[in-house]
Structure 1
């Protein structure tokens, strides 16, 4: 199972613009990568698959670091489906919920306070759910296991600190 998660994280990180140049490690369901061409580092995890649910995209959650832009720990969510116009996206942890601003199939915190709150919960919670309403009007949930998230974020931060 751990090998399957490692392979899936690497495959996700290698698709599209997220092609990693350097793997910084895989920590349970989370991986860390450095892309020196940008330069940036990021921790990334895929949402768990839900049987019988249609997905337009592979959902993932990232925490990114861009040292040349002085950005540390920036949260970004890619959702499984396109969002309904005006839809809210909620990142839900057992002890806290956060509203995100949205694009067509992406979401991110509107301010640094929300971003910091999410990062703190990623370090302490066991799981999270991203809740949204799709363009078809039906709500959906992307679920993430957080074992390894703190280590992956630390590896990404260290990977970009060594510049």
Structure 2
């Protein structure tokens, strides 16, 4: 298990359970709030901000396959955030350091693209005007996403 997954499993939330680790992706279940998620950190050297991409299922809210990305650096005000998988491009809604898909249909399209992709990148411009490019390997992503969904279905 990578240091990232070990720290995540021990994170402050009581009731967090590891469902499984699948290549570079982990699947976890939280008791409160009730949710299950697949998560990975970008390729490259470790960063102090702990960037990640996750796909979550929130059974109490009826949400499934919801994308959340935590960027490796704060983005510039007004900078567009784009997620790319193969030839597919998705514009994301963004805060200073986080991004989400704009709606459930886009979440579904992103997960479908992840299932057939080798890697995905999240790109924007940082506050210093330099590019931010976080790249994620997708090996194990589909299995972790499915494991997380099943983990919440069994509640």
Q: Paired residue for 2:73?
A: 81
User: Residue 129 of structure 2 is aligned with which of 137, 147, 151?
Assistant: 137
1:26 and 2:21 equivalent?
yes
Normalising by structure 2, we get a TM-score of: 0.92
Q: Matched residues in 2 for 1:18 and 1:132: separation?
A: 30
| Structure 2 counterpart SS, 1:64 | strand
User: Residue 65 of structure 1 is aligned with which of 38, 57, 66?
Assistant: 57
Taking structure 1 as reference, are residues 12 and 106 closer, same or farther at Cα in structure 2, changes over 3 Å only? farther
Q: Paired residue for 1:41?
A: 36
Q: For residue 94 of structure 1, report the CA deviation from its aligned partner.
A: 1.2
Normalising by structure 1, we get a TM-score of: 0.88
Q: Paired residue for 1:3?
A: none
**Unaligned 5+ residue runs, structure 1?**
1-5
User: Residue 89 of structure 2 is aligned with which of 82, 86, 97?
Assistant: 97
Q: Matched residues in 1 for 2:23 and 2:122: separation?
A: 19
Q: CA RMSD in A?
A: 1.9
**Unaligned 5+ residue runs, structure 2?**
none
Q: Matched residues in 2 for 1:36 and 1:145: separation?
A: 28
